[in-house]
């Protein structure tokens, strides 16, 4: 699948700061998100807007990935809440993942908002209604 942008555009024009290895992995998914929202239309005349939208989506996907990693790390860490010595007893804290789940959900919802922000005036998002 062809991607809509490259790392040079991401760092020089968009001014992003994601590591190149992460960008190269996420730009494919970001391009897919943009492509499905513009219904696989030709982007001639709107290349820069599409590139900006793709960079923005890549940044959001990167944030989602970081939050999911944080969630997995937090879930795997068991924190000792209390401990008894006689008749040995240990209690571990339960971790509330609601906050991280809400943050992930918010980032996912931002994807369409970012695509709209960059592409609303291009006609690429027109659904024919």
Q: What pLDDT score does 123 carry?
A: 95
Cα distance from N-terminal residue to C-terminal residue, the chain: 29
Q: What pLDDT score does 89 carry?
A: 76
Q: What is the pTM of this model?
A: 0.84
Return the exposure string of 62-81: e unless at least 16 CB atoms fall within 10 Å of the residue's CB, then b: bbbbebeeebeeeeeeeeee
Q: How many CB atoms lie within 10 A of CB 88?
A: 7
pLDDT of 92 > 70? The answer is no
pLDDT tens figures, 41-73: 999 999 999 999 999 999 999 999 999 998 888
């Amino acid at each position: 699948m062809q991607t809509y942008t490259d790392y040079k555009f991401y760092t020089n024009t968009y001014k992003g700061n994601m590591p190149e290895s992460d960008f190269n992995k996420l730009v494919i998914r970001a391009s897919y998100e943009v492509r499905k929202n513009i219904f696989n239309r030709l982007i001639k005349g709107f290349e820069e807007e599409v590139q900006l939208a793709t960079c923005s989506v890549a940044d959001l996907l990167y944030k989602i990935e970081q939050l999911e990693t944080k969630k997995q790390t937090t879930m795997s860490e068991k924190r000792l809440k209390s401990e008894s010595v006689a008749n040995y007893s240990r209690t571990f804290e339960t971790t509330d993942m609601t906050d991280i789940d809400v943050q992930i959900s918010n980032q996912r919802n931002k994807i369409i908002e970012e695509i709209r922000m960059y592409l609303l005036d291009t006609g690429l998002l027109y659904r024919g209604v």
